[in-house]
């Protein structure tokens, strides 16, 4: 019997400088550090985390990207567009590259089938964050609601 994939515990990003990465991402997102170790920082995402690793060993990612789920995509869009050193990629999605070439896609929690358990949302201060109808329908179709 094969094991089922349950979720993603964390994503690790390579950056040149932990301090610079925390300053950069802190301009657009409310950051809560889970911990710091030599050459590493761990940004808390409730029951998951984003690991920043100081030792960039590869060039910018052309096709690879990762999606960050936020409570207010349009607030992130406004902050990114107001920044004079960040270019939002053209298109329907909200994608940008960080200074180290990592491509980031921003998705709104209310619009996707990804869910957090109510106690996790409450612990994150997100109790009023409700899914939109198309996301609810996706969850229903999979038998997840």
Q: What is the pLDDT of residues 70-92, one digit of tens each?
A: 999 999 999 999 999 999 998 88
CB 9 within 8 A of CB 48: yes
Write out the two tokens for 97. Answer: 């590259």
CB 121 within 8 A of CB 128: no
pLDDT given at position 27: 97
pLDDT given at position 48: 94
Q: Is 101 exposed, middle or buried (0-12, 13-18, 19+ CB in 10 A)?
A: middle
Please list the helix, strand and coil fractions of the chain in percent, rounded to the nearest 5, in that order.
25, 25, 50
């Amino acid at each position: 019997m094969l094991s089922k994939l349950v979720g993603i515990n964390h994503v690790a990003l390579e950056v040149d400088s932990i301090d610079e990465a925390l300053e950069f991402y802190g301009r657009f997102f409310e950051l809560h550090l889970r911990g710091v170790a030599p050459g590493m920082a761990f940004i808390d995402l409730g029951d998951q985390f984003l690991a920043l690793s100081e030792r960039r060993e590869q060039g910018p990612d052309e096709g690879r990207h990762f999606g960050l789920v936020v409570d207010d995509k349009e607030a992130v869009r406004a902050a990114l567009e107001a920044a004079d050193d960040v270019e939002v990629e053209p298109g329907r999605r909200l994608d940008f590259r960080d200074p180290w070439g990592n491509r980031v896609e921003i998705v709104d929690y209310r619009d996707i089938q990804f869910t957090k358990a109510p106690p996790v949302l409450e612990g994150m201060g997100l109790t009023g964050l409700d899914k939109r109808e198309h996301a609810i329908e996706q969850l229903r179709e999979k038998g997840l609601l």
